[in-house]
Amino acid sequence: MNKVLQLKKSNCKNCYKCIRNCPVKSIKFSDGQANIIADECILCGRCFVNCPQDAKQIRNDVPRVQELIASGHPVIASVAPSFIAEFPLLDFESMRGMLRQLGFADAEETAIGATIVKQEYERMIASGEHDVIISSCCHSINSLIQKYHPAALPYLAPVLSPMLAHCKLIKEQKPEAKTVFIGPCISKKEEAELYDYCDAVLTFEELEAWMDEKDITPAGESTVDAGHKRARFFPIKGGVIESMYTENTGFTYIAVDGVENCIEALKEIEAGNLKKCFIEMNACEGACINGPVISHHHKSLLNGEIKVRRFAGRDQDFDVPQDMDVFKNMPYIGVHDQIPGEATIREILAKIGKTSKEMELNCGSCGYPTCREKAIAVYQGKADLTMCLPYLKERAETFSGFVINNTPNGIFVLDESLCVQQINRAACELFNLKTPSDIVGSPIVRLINPADYLTVMTTGIPVRDKKKYIAEYQKYVEETIVYDREYHIIFSIMRDITAQETQAAERNELCTKTVEITNAVIEKQMRVVQEIASLLGETTAETKIALTQLKDTLSQ
């Protein structure tokens, strides 16, 4: 697990943007989550800056600093020179005052350490012992070289960063002091843990949150004249070089910013194409004033550089010791990922439909620049097959096409002009069309009365399982119509119920005939009954008359 940069698992949305922006691809994607591989990460902060879901979080070291302050030791802040671009201040005295309100014993400019570092660079160049020198101020660049470009390690200046040089100086001058670096960088947290000179690191974001909590507003201008110091140029692109004395050295001075550009420069250095060259490298484009935890989201990069230039100057250097040991050991760390063979790469590519070179789209949607690099990441366990968007899209279209074209129901997709955009095989058969092209792009009125579609589109109320008879085709259908306002389409599903309706009609006709026959039989039976009853009625009357006469006769 990465100790400095961590993931809020619930927020990761499978967008792969962090992988796409990670210059060394040190992110493993598994179980729907992006996980930072600590051993491979250079802490450039690109994933943190570019995550649209705010799923990456930086370790908060404010509690650690508060503990240092509470310990009773004097805690001295080393403030990066980019502070002038971050805070609405005009000088350092205002910053010192705010930090004292938070409990710091004092605060100094990291530019003091930058002066020590740049003077060491000047001595290295003057010694004539070095052909190519790479600046070692940026810990992310140092990590990049240590992990991925060991052939360039001999050219990396073995010099402490300004943060470490300044914190070391503070501790030499005040042995009981604790030091806290405050700046725009994530990687400084790791650098402080690797070396002994800095006790804690706060980002500008952490400091601002702490100040908000204590209701401290950064503003104001002091009356102290701090002068113009060359080392204050450090946080802008080319600032290290601008702070150095470069005249008549025989060296060429080049500033490279952005990890990708630095990687290309390192390849040139490793190829031996450069001579007598000092190369200032910054992981962040625009250097430190565009660091991952500076407020670049809502502040102008150019305005930040203007403020740095106004605050800095070429008048003088900070007064620093000349014999301070600033050696920094930066060994090869190495990243030992296993690289698959060509046959394995092709086997993985084939699983996502990349069976030929032409099918390798290299679209970058998975986060990797090429399909082959994605296949290698799959082999290394960093990626999975489902991260290929064209493959998933093609598979989804193939699957949906298979389902749509094999369903017995007719399916139409219409636009808001009621023109057919898509029609499946069953619908073609329903309306006696040879191919979909016979109707796609044409009004639906060519096939059917569009009244129901207009009603659904107007009201937004879907029609469900409505039975209708299409006289032109002698077909009975049961139709469902739905209008999707978001995608501006009308979706129709027709079920051919002609056979059922015909059978029902035949049953109805049979029932009718049966009823007619039954009625006829009943009528006939009733007539017979009535005739019998009539005959019985006449016989009874005659008998009654005869018996009455007999009775009368007997009575006489």
Encode pLDDT of 312-355 as tens digits.
988 789 999 988 999 999 999 977 777 888 899 889 888 888 88
Nearest-10 Cα torsion for 340, 343, 348, 350: 160
Which residues are CB-contacts of 468 (< 8 A; sequence separation ≥ 6)?
476, 477, 479
More confident residue, 498 or 210: 210
Rounded mean pLDDT, 91-103:
93
* Token code pair at residue 395: 């598979």
- Average pLDDT, integer, range 202-223: 85
DSSP E strand boundaries for 204-361: 252-257, 277-282
10 Å Cβ neighbour count for 390?
A: 16
CATH code 1.10.15 region(s) in the chain? 337-406
User: What CATH code is assigned to 337-406?
Assistant: 1.10.15
State mean pLDDT over 60-81: 96
Sheet holding 200-203, edge to edge: 106-109, 75-79, 178-183, 200-203
Mean pLDDT of 8-34: 84
Is the per-residue pLDDT at 165 higher than 90? yes
- Alpha-carbon dihedral of residues 431, 436, 439, 443, nearest 10 degrees? 100
The 3-state DSSP class for residue 527 equals helix
Handedness of CA 159, 160, 166, 172 (dihedral sign): negative
The string of pLDDT tens digits covering residues 279-316 is 999 999 999 999 998 865 445 778 889 999 999 988 78
How far does the chain reach from its first CA to its final CA, in angstroms?
A: 136
- In eight-state DSSP terms, residue 134 is E
Instruction: For 489-548, write each residue's pLDDT tens digit.
Output: 999 999 999 888 888 777 888 878 877 777 777 777 777 767 776 766 655 555 555 555
For residue 297, the model assigns a pLDDT of: 45
Side-chain half-sphere of 481: how many Cα atoms within 13 Å? Answer: 22
Domain with CATH 3.30.450.20 in the chain: 407-496
| CATH code for the part of the protein at 407-496 | 3.30.450.20
For the segment 417-445, the average pLDDT, to the nearest whole number, is 91
